[in-house]
Amino acid sequence: MSSLIESGITIDVNRKKIKNMYLRVYLSEGRVVLSCPWHVSEGKIRTFIRERIQWVKKHLEKRKNQVQKEELRYVTGDELRVWGLSRSLMVYETSKTQRIISVSEEEIMMFVKGKSTPEKRKQIMEDWYRSQLKEMIRVFISKWEPLMGVKVREFGVKKMKTRWGTCNIRDRRIWLNLELAKLDVNCLECVVVHEMVHLLERHHSDRFYRLMDQFLPDWTERERLLCFTGFQSC
Ligand SMILES: [Zn+2]
């Protein structure tokens, strides 16, 4: 399957034995796929997409709103994402410390006091996300520092409204978005590398992207997973 970009939207092009062209938006993955006959020209494909691009945008916009408006109550049965996978929350009562006990492939076990509020549960979950992220960020920084020949002096995790990460070049400090704990861990690595490349090249110049290509040849694939969430790289 090849892909092309139209109005900033990546569209997978799937050529197969069919008569007509079809454009589909897969809302759960935020993916746009064009199915078309084997020998149709790229020009015809582009025209076909251009005529329908507003429709595609409308669908993707709807998805973005759904993702952002998702109000969780943090009760048993809620679906939460951890490292790209959806898991069911199981809430149990405890008289001891309120915390996340374990996270398996299917479940997240949370122990709370009887009168805990959704806000408190959210905070417990976020503290856990933060600790997981910090662990993984540490791993990635240690991996990439010798490969890139840079040193990160400090890093942190915080909630950010529009960006996946930021880099303070002078202080050699990077900040990563708490939301990254919900996505595939490859996305986190891509953002960490992006911020670390800024220690070598301040601007998103040709050199910046050459360095990205050199260190992480599949970075565009990884960024595609990020771009559907409505956040941007720095
Ligand atoms: Zn950047």
CATH architecture of 128-227: 2-Layer Sandwich (3.30)
Q: Is 162 helix (H, G, I), strand (E, B) or coil?
A: coil
Ligand 1 centroid–CA 120 distance in Å is 34
Burial of 183 (0-12, 13-18, 19+ CB in 10 A): buried
* Residue 155 · residue 206 · CB < 8 Å: no
Q: What is the pLDDT of residues 1-20, one digit of tens each?
A: 788 888 878 898 999 999 99
Ligand 1 centroid–CA 205 distance in Å is 10
Provide the residue ranges of all domains of the chain, joining segments of one domain with +. Answer: 2-69, 79-127, 128-227
Average pLDDT for residues 9-33, to the nearest whole number?
Answer: 85
pLDDT at 28: 65
Q: What is the pLDDT of residues 137-158, one digit of tens each?
A: 999 999 999 999 999 999 999 9
**Does position 73 have pLDDT exceeding 70, yes or no?**
yes
Pairing of strands 31-37, 22-26: antiparallel
User: How far, in Å, CA of 97 to CA of 112, rounded?
Assistant: 8
pLDDT at 232: 78
Ligand 1 centroid–CA 113 distance in Å is 42
